[in-house]
Amino acid sequence: MKKAVGVLFMLTFVIWGAYRMVANIQFGQDCEGHLKRAADANTIELAKGELEVALGYLEDNRMTEGYTSIVYETPDEDVEFWHKNLTASLQELKDLSPDVSGLERSNMLIKLRETLLDESGNRTTVTYPSGMSVFPNNTSVALLGFITGILALVGGILFLRDFSAY
């Protein structure tokens, strides 16, 4: 019986981890990937389209204001600033006159790339507040992770104790 309870407790943590992985994959497909494509776009039209998809995802999922942090708020976790910055970038692309020079178009795309991406060493990443994949449920997800982590630890102990009794 203890073995079954131990496995059940450990399984709760596995389910929580699976949820985090799925949420991260979905965010990557529905938002982060489109931001990367907007940053890599060679035309204003392509960049606008990708940025609109990403912003649509954020707005449809109520990811437009608040902080991703749980304990204290830091500027790098400010969702509202990030969302406003993306919206302003899209508006700049929309306001760009069709008869603007190639140099100005190129400069706008470079500016967009610098807004959307972070360069650190030889690695390029899309800029967004950490924890966005589970936002606005960061507190609940962290609490569940803590609880299921403790349950998994207790479950492991129960499982090993019951297993070592043989």
Domain boundaries, the chain: 2-164
The pLDDT score that the predictor gives to residue 164 is 56
Say whether pTM exceeds 0.85: yes
The pLDDT score that the predictor gives to residue 5 is 87
Q: What is the pLDDT of residues 105-153, one digit of tens each?
A: 999 999 999 999 998 888 999 999 999 999 999 999 999 999 999 999 9
Peptide bond into 75 cis (omega under 30): no
Is residue 141 a contact partner of residue 134, using CB atoms and an 8 Å limit?
Answer: yes
The pLDDT score that the predictor gives to residue 54 is 98
- DSSP 8-state secondary structure symbol assigned to residue 125: E
**Mean pLDDT across 52-79:** 95
In 3D space, the residue among 115, 129, 145, 116 whose CA is nearest the CA of residue 63 turns out to be 129
The pLDDT score that the predictor gives to residue 166 is 53
The tokens of 164 are what?
């070592």
